[in-house]
Amino acid sequence: VTLSGRAGLSLGIDIGGTKTFALAVDEQGVPLASARTPTATGSIRRFVASAVAAARTVTGELGLEPAELDSIGVGVPGQVDPVAGTVRHAVNLDLGPHPVPLAAHLRDALGTPIHLENDVNAATLGVARMFPEAPDDLAFLSVGTGIAAGIVLGGQLRRGFHGVAGEIGHLPVDPAGERCECGRRGCLEVVASGAALARRWPVEDGRSAAEELFRAAAGGHPVARSIVEDVSGHLADAVVLLALTVDAGLVVLGGGVTEVGTPLLDSVHRALRQRAAAVPLLADLSLDRDVVLAPDAPVGAIGAAIVARRERAGRSRTTVVLHEATGA
């Protein structure tokens, strides 16, 4: 492979609270190789090393050095400053209010320009790619360990002024609810996330609380049915919130909890129709028709690779500075 042949390769890394998934794509965005490693937390050094391991496993499979890649995009939970290449406030990763220069750490270890993006924002770009017919205004509602939304308006990702646009998981929805890691009580995340379901419907290690909960509800278990109704109602309210704040023409549900599939989607649709029945404005919006499930694909890593390729194509100031810094 010539250097020019390798020049079109990008890597997307999706860093989650427990796993890191890396995916290499060619110039057309076609996946070439991927790897999954456990995410190490507890120290920045160990955390960076686990992302480096994922990247090196993929490039090793392709017979390359990471420095031979054109660029690497990284999706990471928390408040990300894509220009400074820093992340902070990522509770699952033990990152506090102090900005961690993750892009610089990874660039030093891998010798490649690094572009950081919030993980849900990156996944939103991946989702938008998979719905090419979607309206220019769409939202991705990620229901995993936590809950957050990514927002695309006019075809552009909206990070917001502070980079926290879409962090709706921390809107309090139940004043009597349990305390949230953010410091408040009864956040959406505390009642309807994957972590919340695991608390509300405890299962054996290695089993999916969401799947077992929905199975029990389908079997007629009254407690399971009431939890499903409550969770679906909160998710429907999150969809209404996105409709009434940014008027998304399509809301895509993704994240671990949505692996439940059709039973979850049907339940959210039902809750949306109940709300529409009482509110003519909502009835006009026909929200239940515009809520779909994300495709079964690693949208986070795909989106991170899109971030990398877009930055490279844009030759933004950030990219130029990073190129100079690595001497590339």
- Cβ closer to Zn ion: 138 or 180? 180
Pairing of strands 71-76, 10-15: parallel
The residue whose two tokens read 């690779």 is 305
Say if CB 213 and CB 223 are below 8 A apart: no
- Cβ closer to Zn ion: 185 or 225? 185
Closest contact distance (angstroms) between CB of 186 and Zn ion is 8
* d(C-alpha 113, C-alpha 2), whole Å: 20
Closest contact distance (angstroms) between CB of 182 and Zn ion is 3
Report the alpha-carbon angle 98-102-108, nearest 5.
135
Closest contact distance (angstroms) between CB of 180 and Zn ion is 3
Closest contact distance (angstroms) between CB of 235 and Zn ion is 16
* d(C-alpha 166, C-alpha 149), whole Å: 4
- Cβ closer to Zn ion: 56 or 170? 170
- Cβ closer to Zn ion: 180 or 285? 180
Show the site string, 173-192: x = touches Zn ion by CB under 5 A, - = not: -------x-x----x-----
Q: CA dihedral defined by 126, 127, 128, 133, rounded to 10 degrees?
A: 130
Q: Of all helices (H) and strands (E), which one includes residue 117?
A: strand 114-118
Longest dimension (CA), the chain: 64
- Cβ closer to Zn ion: 181 or 266? 181
Number of residues that bind Zn ion (CB under 5 A): 4
Short-list 201, 253, 190, CA closest to 225: 201
- Cβ closer to Zn ion: 190 or 250? 190
Figure out which of the listed residues 89, 105, 115, 170 binds Zn ion, where binding follows CB under 5 A: 170
Closest contact distance (angstroms) between CB of 38 and Zn ion is 26
Closest contact distance (angstroms) between CB of 123 and Zn ion is 20
Contact residues toward Zn ion (CB under 5 A) are: 170, 180, 182, 187
